[in-house]
Structure formats: structure tokens, C-alpha cells
């Protein structure tokens, strides 16, 4: 896998790691280094007497390092990749040492154990009994949650800022006990609203209405379409069967990786990868969950095309997907086709909301957007002179202004309704993350 320096630096978890990785892309920093077709390794001399052992599985772009850093990838992994990109001929050693080969063997064995576990027979009677017990717990929990929402509306929302975090946390914990983790997460996010900013009432009410719709949908689930039934269950927290999903043919395409967003939730790292299919013209969200000290199952690099087959989760408006097969990765020859205007974006959003009224943020690509200032805010103006406000507290506005130079550029964004956040921009036919 040949990555450019920009693509390698896009893997950095933060600016400090990016800077340190650049500093380590120096042959003098490495005691040893080597590479073959599947793995890259090196020993980097740190402050201690023993050098840090860094290794990279090139097939899945997985990292491992003996340094104490909890970042992924760490600065040593970034530095080794950058060193390979800049001085590939210096990697003359092609015989992997024992500590590298053993790591690759463990990764292979781990994959085989997962396969063996899937092949074990399932006790269908016990599974049905557990499912029935959970459904009853969920039903009881939803009745309590419905009364809680009605009490908020009946008593008025103006006193919500005085409630404090415990008000939301207690109900979220109750939903965990009721085995409805999806609703627990939604309640927790409501408690994290800034109740001292303009418009919090609208955002809070929207969130409560969304939960109310989920509760009513579950109570009348037999009257809904099969796809919407799956949406209701997923929002509550019922998982979809991954084996059944992977058995579907899926959508094969050249998928452009628009962005990678990493956050920490409940002591887990949550990685959101936003993709766009060049032929299918479909957007996709690939979620990965892992412990901070571990690495994700696969690596998707913003700005690259991955030739892959995706399987979309059952939904009335499919967006979340999983990778059934990943074949190769390459640089794109030209930017993907995007929407021509904000009108086209909103028309698509309206069509989606008519089928799926629970949408959070979703991605889009829009051609010829120009950042403009108005009323002390930044807006994005399209070719038809229609404008949409950029998300408040957006931190990369000056990067966007520098790339655009006051001229229209093609931009990838994420958002909904009347607020969007730029993710990346095409500059001189190259995709640049913001």
C-alpha cells in the first residue's frame, strides 16, 4: 500500500502526534527497520535503553508499538510510515524478526477463532426465551420513559437547566437496566446540551420528540414496514444479525473515504468513517469500536478510494454499513460528483426524512461552495447564491478560507437541516482534510 504524506498524516489522532510523527521520519531515529509485502517494522530509540518496537500490518493498516502511548496510531507508527514514504530504498531488510512474525501469527489466529465461534450451533429455544425476556424489560422501561417525557412537557421545559446532570443520568441508567441502550445514549446526549445557549429549547424538544416517536413506533411496530421496524429496534438498542447481513450480496463500488471521526464514549473509542460510492452515488457510515490501547479491525484513510463491497444495515433510509470485502486501495483520479446546489441537498434530505424521521447528521458533497461572512457568522454560498450557515464553533474556518481563496470550491460536509460542518475540500484536484 503506497500512501502519500498527506494521507499518512490524516491518520494522526491529533496535531501533537502529527508533529511528532514528522520528527520521527528520520533514519537517524531508527536503530533498525525493514519491510516486506505485508508488514513494516522498525525499532525507534526513545529515552530509555531499549528501543520501541513498531510494526504495521500493511494489508489492513493495523499498528502495534511497545511504547506506552495510548494514542492510535502512535507517533512511532506515523513516523515509520512517513520514513517509508520518503526513504523506501533504505528499507533493505526483508526478513521479519521474531517479534514481528509472532504478532502477525497472533492476528491470524485471532481471526480463525472468530470464524470457529461463528460456526458453533445456536440453541434456538434458549435464544428465543432470552429475546422474549428482553422484550418485556424493554416494554416496561418504555412505559416509564413515556411518563418521564410527559412530566417534562407538563411541568414546562424552562426549569430543565436547574435539574442538573443527575436528572438525565438516572433515566439513562434506567434504560440500561431495561436493556434499551440506544435510548439511554439519546437521553445522555440531551443531558449534555448547553442549556445556556440560544436555541437549546428547540434542540431539547427535538430530542424528546424523537424518543417519543421511537416509543410510539415500538408500541405499534406491527403496523410499520419491515425496514422501519428494524429502525425502531435499532434505535432502542436491538442489534441486527451480522451473519445475516454479511450473507447479502452487498454493493460493490469504488468508495471514496470522506472523513474519519474518532471520539471516546463509555471508555470505548468510536470511529465513524464516512464514505461515498462513485458509481452507486450512495453515502455510507462505517462504525468501528475498540479499546483505546487496541487498534480497529480495518483502516480507512480519508482521501483514498477503497475497492470494496459494503452491506447496508436494514433501514428505511440505509446509511450505516459494514465492509463485507475490501480488495484494494488507491488514489482517486478525479473528485467524486456532488450536489449542484443547496436546493438539491435539501430535496434529498426531505425525501429521506419522509421515510426515516429519526435522522441525525448525514454527509454530502456540494460543488462550487464559497465561504462568505454575514451577520458575524460564516456561511457557504452555492452557485445559485443560496447560503447555508456553517456550524457554530467550527474550528477550521481559516483552513477553509485559505484553500478557497475567496473562490468556489467543492466541499464535503456533514450536518442536517440548517447547519453543516465542512469535512474536506478539493484543492487542485487533491482532497484536503480540514
pLDDT digits (tens, 9 = 90+) for 7-36: 888 888 888 888 999 999 999 999 999 998
Number of structural domains in the chain:
4
Q: How does strand 419-427 pair with strand 409-416?
A: antiparallel
Residue that terminates a domain, selected from 81, 115, 149 = 115
Q: Which residues contact 358 (CB under 8 A, 6 or more apart)?
A: 210, 213, 214, 231, 235
What confidence category does residue 263 fall into, taking pLDDT thresholds of 50, 70 and 90?
confident
* 199: region left, alpha or beta (phi > 0 left; psi from -120 to 50 alpha): left
Give residue 79's pLDDT band: very low, low, confident or very high (50, 70, 90): very high
C-alpha cell at 15: 496535531
61 vs 39: CA distance, rounded Å = 9
- Please check whether residue 362 lies inside any domain of the structure: yes
Q: What is the pTM of this model?
A: 0.72
Instruction: Determine how many CB atoms are found less than 10 A away from the CB of residue 34.
Output: 19
Given 330, 353, 380, the domain boundary residue is 330
Cα(45)–Cα(235) distance, rounded to whole angstroms? 48
Q: Higher confidence at residue 425 or residue 130? A: 425
Is residue 337 domain-resident?
no
Contacts (Cβ under 8 Å, ≥6 apart) of 389: 377, 378, 379, 380, 418, 419, 420
CA 218/CA 198 separation, integer angstroms: 33
Supply the pLDDT for residue 280: 95
Place of cell 417534562: 152
* 104 shares its domain with 11: yes
Structural domain harbouring 74: 5-115
Residue 335 placed within a domain: no
Q: Note the pLDDT of residue 199.
A: 83
pLDDT at 117: 55
265 vs 287: which has the higher pLDDT: 287
- The predicted-structure confidence for 224-251, as pLDDT tens digits, reads as follows 999 999 999 999 999 898 888 988 999 9
Q: How confident is the model at residue 60, as a pLDDT?
A: 75
The answer on 404 and 352 residing in a single domain is yes
Cβ neighbour number for residue 106 with a 10 Å cutoff: 11
Indicate if 131 and 224 belong to the same structural domain. Answer: yes
96-155 tens-digit pLDDT: 899 998 888 888 787 666 655 555 565 677 777 888 888 889 999 999 999 999 999 999
Residue position matching grid coordinates 514514504: 85
Question: What's the angle, vertex CA 188, arms to CA 186 and CA 193, rounded to 5?
Answer: 95
Same domain (yes/no): 229, 194: yes
pLDDT of residue 215: 96
Amino acid at each position: 500500500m503506497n500512501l502519500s504524506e498527506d494521507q499518512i498524516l490524516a491518520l494522526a489522532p491529533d496535531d501533537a502526534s502529527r508533529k511528532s510523527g514528522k520528527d520521527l521520519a528520520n533514519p537517524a531515529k531508527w536503530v533498525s527497520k525493514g519491510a516486506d509485502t505485508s508488514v513494516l517494522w522498525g525499532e525507534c530509540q526513545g529515552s530509555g535503553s531499549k528501543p520501541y518496537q513498531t510494526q504495521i500490518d500493511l494489508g489492513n493498516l493495523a499498528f502495534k508499538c511497545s511504547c506506552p502511548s495510548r494514542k492510535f496510531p502512535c507517533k512511532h507508527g506515523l513516523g515509520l510510515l512517513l520514513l517509508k514514504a520518503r526513504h523506501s530504498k533504505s528499507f533493505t531488510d526483508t526478513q521479519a524478526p521474531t517479534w514481528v512474525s509472532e504478532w502477525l501469527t497472533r492476528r491470524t489466529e485471532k481471526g480463525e477463532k472468530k470464524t470457529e465461534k461463528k460456526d458453533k450451533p445456536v440453541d434456538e429455544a434458549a435464544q428465543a426465551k432470552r429475546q422474549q425476556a428482553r422484550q418485556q424489560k424493554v416494554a416496561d422501561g418504555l412505559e416509564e420513559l413515556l411518563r418521564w417525557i410527559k412530566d417534562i412537557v407538563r411541568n414546562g421545559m424552562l426549569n430543565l437547566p436547574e435539574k442538573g446532570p443527575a436528572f438525565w443520568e438516572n433515566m439513562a441508567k434506567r434504560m440500561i437496566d431495561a436493556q434499551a441502550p440506544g435510548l439511554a445514549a439519546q437521553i445522555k446526549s440531551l443531558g449534555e446540551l448547553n442549556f445556556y445557549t440560544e436555541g437549546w429549547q428547540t434542540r431539547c424538544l427535538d430530542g424528546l420528540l424523537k424518543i417519543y416517536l421511537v416509543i410510539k413506533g415500538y408500541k405499534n411496530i406491527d403496523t410499520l414496514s419491515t425496514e422501519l421496524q428494524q429502525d425502531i429496534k435499532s434505535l432502542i438498542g436491538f442489534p441486527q444479525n451480522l451473519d445475516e447481513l454479511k450473507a447479502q450480496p452487498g454493493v460493490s463500488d469504488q468508495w471514496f473515504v470522506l472523513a474519519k471521526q474518532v471520539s471516546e464514549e463509555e471508555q470505548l473509542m468510536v470511529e465513524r468513517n464516512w464514505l461515498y460510492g462513485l458509481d452507486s452515488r450512495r453515502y455510507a457510515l462505517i462504525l468501528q469500536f475498540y479499546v483505546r490501547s487496541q487498534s480497529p479491525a480495518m483502516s480507512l484513510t480519508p482521501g483514498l478510494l477503497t475497492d470494496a463491497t459494503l452491506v447496508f444495515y436494514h433501514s428505511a433510509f440505509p446509511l450505516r454499513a459494514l465492509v463485507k470485502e475490501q480488495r484494494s486501495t488507491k488514489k482517486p483520479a478525479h473528485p467524486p460528483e456532488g450536489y449542484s446546489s443547496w436546493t438539491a441537498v435539501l430535496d434529498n434530505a426531505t425525501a429521506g426524512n419522509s421515510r426515516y424521521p429519526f435522522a441525525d447528521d448525514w454527509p454530502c458533497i456540494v460543488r462550487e461552495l464559497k465561504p462568505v461572512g454575514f451577520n458575524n457568522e460564516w456561511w457557504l454560498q452555492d452557485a445559485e447564491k443560496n447560503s447555508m450557515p456553517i456550524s457554530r464553533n467550527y474550528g477550521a474556518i481559516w483552513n477553509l478560507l485559505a484553500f478557497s481563496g475567496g473562490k468556489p470550491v467543492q466541499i464535503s460536509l456533514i450536518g442536517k437541516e440548517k447547519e453543516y460542518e465542512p469535512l474536506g475540500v478539493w484543492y487542485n484536484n487533491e482532497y484536503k482534510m480540514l
